[in-house]
Amino acid sequence: MQLLDAHARHYAWGSRTLIPELKGEEPGTRPVAELWFGAHPANPSTIGDERLDDIIAAAPEAMLGAQVCAKFDGRLPFLMKILAAGEPLSLQAHPTPEQARDGFEREDAAGIALDDPKRNYKDTSHKPEIIIALTDFYAMAGFRPLEQTRELFAALNCDGLAHYESMLVDSPEAEESNLRVLFTTWITIPAAIRTKLIEDVTVAAHEYVGSAEPGDWIAGVLRTVIALQEQYPGDPGVLGALLLNHIQLSPGEAVYLDAGELHAYVRGMGVEVMANSDNVLRGGLTSKHVDVPELVRVLNFEALSSPRVEQEDLSQHESLSGGAAWGYPVPIDEFSVVRCELSGDDSVELASSRPGIVLCTAGRTVIEHADPQAGPDPVTLSPGQAVWLPANAAPCKASVGEGAESTQLFIARA
């Protein structure tokens, strides 16, 4: 077990306060959008003066274990982050493994440098991801079922939408093609036509919100649409927001997004775990490169009834001595993630043949070897700090650090 030094990413959409407050620091002058814990070559964590990706490359089987090493070609297959959104992220989607390999090879063959702002594919991996809320968290995630979108359009009663409503044929067999036609039309129509449509939608949205009852889901969607138009006037993402599931997460709740799911995180802080990739295809709500044909090529237009992840209660797991734990089942092999809450003398064993990262998000966590003679001194983590547990690590356990009443930690493993 070794302390990981994570490097901050200062994107414009980040929050100036959320991550500094988590770490007990004063806000700085720049927004802090993400802390990366992992071995992605674009921004690897470090142990002392060494990059984690270099440490793994020097002894891949020892660090990853034989099975993970063979399956993922000697690379750590996941990336863990703390993400803090003060403003909406770009409307985006991620490719499948096949699309990522094809896109990476095409852009290499075209001579597009990896650091070129117009580069879509930074690596050959897909990027399925889960985000688990640390604060109240608002996200737009996946195309909602068309029945609900037709309900929203009818309630909005906007003359400018009438032409486009005709694209939403009431037929389950046509749902996917309907979404493809409508979204592709909106993202490709001339800017002047799109701007006028958004203005009409916004006027109708203000009228609806002004008379809506508390808890009206349509009013909640339209408030977000209005806010997006104020920040990104005339942007295609404002129209895209009309078609997506709008999800409010409480702390501990989670959303999982697979390849091709259109989404944008709007506000809040969470722990994000994903395949070890930085491939993003953007469709709006950003000043960065937007490649409409490539985005449409990777999108999954099948409606997503709910992107929420049902938590699995692990409180009776044999690794726990007191405390509580929850798992977040995901349909991929690159990672698993568990959230633990410990107090008093509670502890959780961390023994495994798979590599992992343990991240503290509240209180203080102490990690020590089961046999004090087996390794270095215990490591104490404050919120926003993490340790690397290689596959060959001696058995160890996590418990509440000195001076703290409780702790919350996330354990991600390959």
- 3-state secondary structure string across the chain: CEEEECEEECCCCEECCHHHHHCCCCCCCCCECEEEEECCCCCCCEECCEEHHHHHHHCHHHHHCHHHHHHCCCCCCEEEEEEEECCCCCEEECCCHHHHHHHHHHHHHCCCCCCCCCCCCCCCCCCCEEEEECCCEEEEEEECCHHHHHHHHHHHCCHHHHHHHCCCCCCHHHHHHHHHHHHHHHHHCCHHHHHHHHHHHHHHHHHHHHCCCCCCHHHHHHHHHHHHHHHCCCCHHHHHCCCEEEEEECCCCEEEECCCCCEEEEEEEEEEEEECCCCCEEEECCCCCCCHHHHHHHCCCCCCCCCECCCEECCCCCCEECCEEEECCCCCCCCEEEEEEEECCCEEECCCCCCEEEEEEEECEEEEECCCCCCCCCEEECCCCEEEECCCCCCEEEEECCCCCEEEEEEEEC
Contact 268, 136 (CB under 8 A): yes
Residues of the chain above pLDDT 70, percent: 98
Q: What is the mean pLDDT of the chain?
A: 93
Q: How far is CA 124 from CA 106, 205, 289, 312, in A?
A: 11, 41, 19, 31
DSSP bridge pairs for 143: 244
Q: Left, alpha or beta for 363 (phi > 0: left; psi -120 to 50: alpha)?
A: left
The answer to whether 129 is annotated as binding is yes
Q: Which tens digit of pLDDT belongs to each residue from 99-141?
A: 999 999 999 999 999 889 899 998 888 999 999 999 999 999 9
Higher-pLDDT residue of 94 and 352 is 94
- The whole-angstrom separation of Cα 268 and Cα 135 is 6
DSSP bridge pairs for 14: 85
Catalytic residue among 75, 119, 194, 282: 282
Measured over the CA atoms of residue 332, residue 333, residue 334 and residue 339, the dihedral's sign is: positive
The answer to whether 148 is annotated as binding is no
- The whole-angstrom separation of Cα 365 and Cα 381 is 5
DSSP bridge pairs for 325: 340
Does the annotation mark 282 as catalytic? yes
Q: Please check the confidence at residue 79 and state whether its pLDDT lies above 70.
A: yes
The answer to whether 246 is annotated as binding is no
Q: Where in the chain do CATH 2.60.120.10 domains reside?
A: 312-413
Instruction: Output the CATH code of domain 88-309.
Output: 2.60.120
- The whole-angstrom separation of Cα 282 and Cα 274 is 18
The answer to whether 94 is annotated as binding is yes
- The whole-angstrom separation of Cα 343 and Cα 362 is 11
Q: Which tens digit of pLDDT belongs to each residue from 335-374?
A: 999 999 999 999 999 978 899 999 999 999 999 987 767 6
- The whole-angstrom separation of Cα 52 and Cα 315 is 32
pLDDT, position 408: 98
pLDDT, position 9: 93
Instruction: Look up the CATH architecture of domain 312-413.
Output: Sandwich (2.60)
Lowest mean pLDDT among 92-96, 113-117, 174-178, 181-185: 174-178
Instruction: Name the band, by pLDDT with cuts 50, 70 and 90, for residue 7.
Output: confident
pTM of the model: 0.94
Q: Please check the confidence at residue 230 and state whether its pLDDT lies above 90.
A: yes
- The whole-angstrom separation of Cα 204 and Cα 349 is 56
Q: Which tens digit of pLDDT belongs to each residue from 277-331?
A: 889 999 999 888 888 889 999 999 999 888 999 999 999 998 999 999 999 999 9
